[in-house]
């Protein structure tokens, strides 16, 4: 089994000073957890946070990148640039990118491929909307989101990435999937990956907090968490990481 991963997505929150303070608090209080912690600050703060993390075991990631390597793409950031800034991970296909910025599966697949070509580990985010769940389409939707990436990069490369199951209705809503609901989907993802995916990290995301993490992390196919709101408080994020240990 892969080392458990706890990833903190800061989204578009915080000043540079707040980003430095939060990363400093994490570094000062990190213990020898048997879990890999990774934080995903806003792009503009990556360099500052990278300096704070230097010498610590906390990894750095970015929230978004271009699918293109370089060129006339105003406002975009490439995987090579993120790598140079100290990133090891990149989120691809976060539901906010899909719903608010119109990212479609094929673009997500291109980003996944571009990330790996530059030596970043992509965290592929998948998940169904409330309406899709109510229509009984959860497993179908998640499988389709994963299959488009599989077709683009092949099963082995897909399995070298990380997959985060994040039901859209649970993100930022305070409504968390039950451990059974989450395990059902994680089990189906593991099955979809087949023998190549035995060690692939499968994260759960969606309103994870210290108070609900233990039961989620106890599930057989949940190898860690992608945490949004609760990652903005050092104590809460550290507590979640500790619960995974
Ligand atoms: C996320 O941003 O991926 C997320 C899961 O957010 P939250 O924990 O706030 O629901």
120 in a domain, yes or no? yes
Nearest CA to ligand 1 atom 3: 228
Nearest CA to ligand 1 atom 6: 228
- pLDDT one-digit tens code per residue, 110-140: 999 999 999 999 999 999 999 999 999 999 9
Query: What is the C-alpha separation between 231 and 36, in angstroms, rounded?
Result: 14
Catalytic: which of 94, 96, 103, 128? 94
The count of structural domains within the chain is 1
Q: How far is the CA of 72 from the centre of ligand 1 (A)?
A: 32
7 φψ region: left (φ > 0), alpha (ψ -120 to 50), beta (else): beta
Range of the domain at 34: 5-68+83-243
**Beta strand spans in the chain (E):** 5-9, 36-40, 59-62, 89-92, 121-126, 162-165, 202-205, 224-227
- For residues 180 and 243, which has the higher predicted lDDT (pLDDT)? 180
Q: How far is the CA of 206 from the centre of ligand 1 (A)?
A: 5
77 in a domain, yes or no? no
- Give the CATH number for residue 233: 3.20.20.70
Q: How far is the CA of 93 from the centre of ligand 1 (A)?
A: 13
74 in a domain, yes or no? no
Q: What is the pTM of this model?
A: 0.97
Q: Which residue has the tokens 């309406």?
A: 131
Q: Which residue has the tokens 């060129």?
A: 71
- pLDDT one-digit tens code per residue, 164-186: 999 999 999 989 999 999 999 99
184 in a domain, yes or no? yes
In sign, the C-alpha dihedral spanning 237, 241, 244, 245 is negative
Atom from ligand 1 closest to the CA of residue 9: 2
140 in a domain, yes or no? yes
Q: How confident is the model at residue 86 (pLDDT cuts 50, 70, 90)?
A: very high
29 in a domain, yes or no? yes
- Is 45 a catalytic site residue? no
75 in a domain, yes or no? no
227 lines ligand 1 (CB under 6 A): yes
73 in a domain, yes or no? no
**Ligand 1, from 207, 212, 213, 225: best to mutate by most atoms within 8 Å of Cβ?**
207
């Amino acid at each position: 089994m892969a080392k458990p991963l706890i990833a903190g997505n800061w989204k578009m929150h915080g000043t540079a000073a707040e980003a430095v303070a939060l990363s400093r608090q994490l570094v000062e209080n990190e213990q020898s957890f048997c879990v890999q912690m990774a934080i995903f600050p806003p792009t503009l703060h990556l360099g500052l946070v990278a300096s704070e993390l230097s010498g610590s075991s906390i990894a750095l990631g970015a929230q978004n990148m271009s699918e293109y390597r370089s060129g006339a793409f105003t406002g975009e950031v490439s995987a090579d640039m993120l790598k140079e800034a100290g990133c090891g991970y990149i989120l691809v296909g976060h539901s906010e990118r899909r719903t608010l910025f119109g990212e479609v599966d094929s673009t997500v697949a291109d980003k996944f491929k571009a990330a790996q070509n530059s030596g970043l580990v992509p965290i592929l985010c998948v998940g169904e909307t409330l309406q899709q769940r109510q229509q009984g389409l959860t497993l179908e939707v998640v499988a389709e989101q994963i299959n488009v990436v599989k077709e683009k990069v092949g099963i082995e490369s897909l399995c070298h990435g990380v997959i985060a199951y994040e039901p859209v209705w649970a993100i930022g809503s305070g409504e968390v999937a039950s451990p059974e609901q989450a395990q059902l989907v994680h089990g189906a993802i593991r099955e979809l990956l087949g023998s190549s995916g035995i060690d692939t990290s499968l994260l759960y995301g969606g309103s994870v907090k210290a108070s609900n993490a233990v039961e989620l992390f106890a599930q057989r196919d949940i190898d860690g968490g992608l945490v949004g709101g609760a990652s903005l408080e050092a104590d809460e994020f550290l507590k979640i990481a500790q619960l995974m240990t």
